[in-house]
């Protein structure tokens, strides 16, 4: 799983970007720290998504780079957060499963929900807030197989079902719902 969209309330957007920049640069500031993707095809796909978005007007946050050192293996890619995204961009519409992320600032709860749900996928979502009532109200409206409040999107518990909605996933695993995926219901009728 990978975070595909970051939605931040406009009242804290600048502060959040600054904290994000410091954190990512601390984690991935040198080429040696560049994350390795599962395959070169995954890295190629993510680079193509980023290039497509930039060619259509997206802007990388200044603390991120899409450039790779010439000596770097082709499975490495630095995290890229893109602003000024539009719905026509491939990165907006596809699951990247990589370090390329769309950034959006929103003003209203309704706007955030619309942005979060405007996708063909729905594996996992996270909501970070100090207001638990808001978190549960928004969580109920998100089209996602799982919603994690004040926790990251990768948060599996063996006793709870895991799986997506829409075009995400192939059913459920974990929990009794996961066991149900291996069974089928058969109806047998008879007459005397």
When pLDDT is cut at 50, 70 and 90, the band that residue 181 belongs to is: confident
| Separation between Cα atoms, residue 102 and residue 85, nearest integer Å | 7
pLDDT of residue 54: 94
CATH architecture classification, 5-180: 3-Layer(aba) Sandwich (3.40)
**What stretches of the chain adopt beta strand conformation (E)?**
5-9, 59-60, 80-83, 100-106, 121-122, 125-127, 147-149, 165-166
pLDDT tens by residue, 67-111: 544 445 688 888 888 999 998 999 999 988 888 889 999 999 999
pLDDT of residue 67: 55
pLDDT tens by residue, 49-68: 999 999 999 998 865 554 54
When pLDDT is cut at 50, 70 and 90, the band that residue 147 belongs to is: very high
DSSP state letters, 61-77: -TT------TTS-TTB-
DSSP state letters, 138-176: HHHHS--S-EEESS-S----TTS-B--EETS-SS-BSHH
Predicted structure pTM score = 0.80
When pLDDT is cut at 50, 70 and 90, the band that residue 13 belongs to is: very high
Map out the domains of the chain as residue ranges. 5-180
Q: Which residues of 28-63 are buried (b: 16+ CB within 10 A; e: fewer)?
A: beeeeebeebeeeebbebbbebbebbbeeebebbeb
Only one residue has tokens 């599996």, namely 156
């Amino acid at each position: 799983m990978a975070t595909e969209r970051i939605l931040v309330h406009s009242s804290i957007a600048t502060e959040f970007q600054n904290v994000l920049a410091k954190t990512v640069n601390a984690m991935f500031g040198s080429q040696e720290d560049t994350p390795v993707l599962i395959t070169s095809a995954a890295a190629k796909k993510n680079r193509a998504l980023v290039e497509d978005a930039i060619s259509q007007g997206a802007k990388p946050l200044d603390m991120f780079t899409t450039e790779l050192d010439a000596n770097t293996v082709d499975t490495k890619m630095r995290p890229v957060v893109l602003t000024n995204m539009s719905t026509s961009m491939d990165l907006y519409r596809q699951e990247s499963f990589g370090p390329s992320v769309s950034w959006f600032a929103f003003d209203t709860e309704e706007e955030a929900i619309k942005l979060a749900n405007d996708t063909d996928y729905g594996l996992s979502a996270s909501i970070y807030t100090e207001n638990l009532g808001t978190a549960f109200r928004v969580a109920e409206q998100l089209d996602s197989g799982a919603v994690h409040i004040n926790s990251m999107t990768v948060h599996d518990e063996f006793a709870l079902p895991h799986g997506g909605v829409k075009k995400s996933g192939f059913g459920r695993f974990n929990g009794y719902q996961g066991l149900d995926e291996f069974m089928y219901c058969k109806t047998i009728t008879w007459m005397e």
